[in-house]
Amino acid sequence: MKKLINQVDRLVDEALEGLEAAFRPYLRRLPDTHVLVRARPKAAGRVALVSGGGSGHEPAHAGYVGYGMLDAAVAGEVFTSPTPDQILAAIRAVDTGAGVLLVVKNYTGDVMNFDLAQEMAAAEGHQVASVLVNDDVAVENSLYTAGRRGIAGTVLVHKIAGAKAESGAPLEEVRRVAADTVAETRSMGLALSPCTVPARGQPTFTLDEDEIEMGIGIHGEPGVRREPLRPADALAGELLERIATDLGLQTGERVWALVNGLGATPLIELAVWARYLDRWSRARGLGLAGMWLGEYMTSLDMGGASLTLSRLDAEREALLTAPCDTPALRQGVNHE
């Protein structure tokens, strides 16, 4: 295992310290926790957003803490759910009195621990709602989930619900728009190469020189099938058709897209997918309102990428394009 780390059991702790150091204008760590909160807390009376999950998906979720997105990110160990007490600490720290929305990716451990934390917080008098993200169309159930997995589409939920919260909307409205976003968002990915979980020290699977894994998750868990590598456009086309069919996309509808690198795939290759996606959406008669291109939800050093489409209505498009200012996503820069 060849990685820039010091000790496996200190990796997450050190990485969180490094994220805080690098993004000091944005992030503060709650003492003695794996929780990063906004350096400049949001205005009182606005709903707060908390997300998190296992580490290894950076910039998710700490990279989305800041104006217009999350108020706190809770990090578990690599590919391991954060514990309820850590999630509870995050809720306590960011609740301004208007309540807290938890954005949870659908994995058994995350669901259990966020649920427990929600109950504990409610017992302390916090208003807490939650939304479960399950955007991955590849599999109906998986090694780690009942139902579909939550993957890169989660970032759109952070953005849309975060903008709604910033607008001063009450908790129920923020929860509703987050749930709407989940309902209208689908993703699917593929791997060219496996990732290596530091505590294990070996790749999570092996692929032949010309083999890819379709429908990969973000924890090195198996995908749908293995098959020979094909040209980039053919692979993107298959993912997009799966997503579009599942969403029931119709001509004339507006969508937002995310071309997401899983860790080891360089931007020049992701850009080839961005080109195809742009051409495909025009050929399909879709209105492509915009696209994010880069690494938004990774799986350590996995090679490969995922595609996400989200159907927009006027409200969600306005929220998605509203200003935000976080380490990993900044929109609406003030020029001159």
Active site residues: 57, 219
User: Hey, what long-range contacts does 73-76 have (CB within 8 A, 24 or more apart)?
Assistant: 73/35, 73/36, 74/33, 74/34, 74/35, 74/50, 75/12, 75/16, 75/34, 75/35, 75/36, 76/12, 76/34, 76/52
14 is a site residue for a copy of itself (CB under 8 A): yes
Q: What is the Cα–Cα distance from 274 to 231, expressed in whole angstroms? A: 14
9 is a site residue for a copy of itself (CB under 8 A): no
What are the structure tokens assigned to 293, written together?
């291109």
199 is a site residue for a copy of itself (CB under 8 A): no
Residues in contact with a copy of itself, counted by CB under 8 A, come to a total of 75
Task: Give me the least distance between CB of 263 and a copy of itself, in Å please.
Answer: 5
17 is a site residue for a copy of itself (CB under 8 A): yes
Q: Which residues pair with 52 in a beta bridge?
A: 74
User: In 144-257, which ranges are continuous DSSP H helix?
Assistant: 154-166, 171-183, 232-247
CB-nearer residue toward a copy of itself: 97 or 323: 323
CB-nearer residue toward a copy of itself: 88 or 305: 305
- Residue from 256, 265, 331, 257 nearest 298 by CA: 265
The letter for the amino acid at 218 is I
272 is a site residue for a copy of itself (CB under 8 A): yes
283 is a site residue for a copy of itself (CB under 8 A): no
CB-nearer residue toward a copy of itself: 99 or 327: 327
Q: Which residues pair with 309 in a beta bridge?
A: 186, 257
Distances (CA, A) of 300 to 48, 100, 173, 210, 285: 28, 29, 34, 21, 36
CB-nearer residue toward a copy of itself: 3 or 85: 3
CB-nearer residue toward a copy of itself: 146 or 282: 282
The interface with a copy of itself within residues 155-174 (CB under 8 A) comprises 166
The interface with a copy of itself within residues 289-308 (CB under 8 A) comprises 290-293, 295, 298, 300-301, 303-305
Task: From 54-62, 178-186, 239-247, 248-256, give the range in contact with a copy of itself by CB under 8 A.
Answer: 54-62
Task: From 52-60, 151-159, 172-180, 311-319, give the range in contact with a copy of itself by CB under 8 A.
Answer: 52-60
Task: Give me the least distance between CB of 195 and a copy of itself, in Å please.
Answer: 8
26 is a site residue for a copy of itself (CB under 8 A): no
251 is a site residue for a copy of itself (CB under 8 A): no
Q: What is the Cα–Cα distance from 166 to 169, expressed in whole angstroms? A: 7
Angle, vertex CA 255, rays to CA 266 and CA 52, nearest 5 = 60
Which of 206, 209, 248, 251 lies at the binding interface for a copy of itself (CB under 8 A)? 209
Q: Is 310 in a helix, a strand, or coil?
A: strand
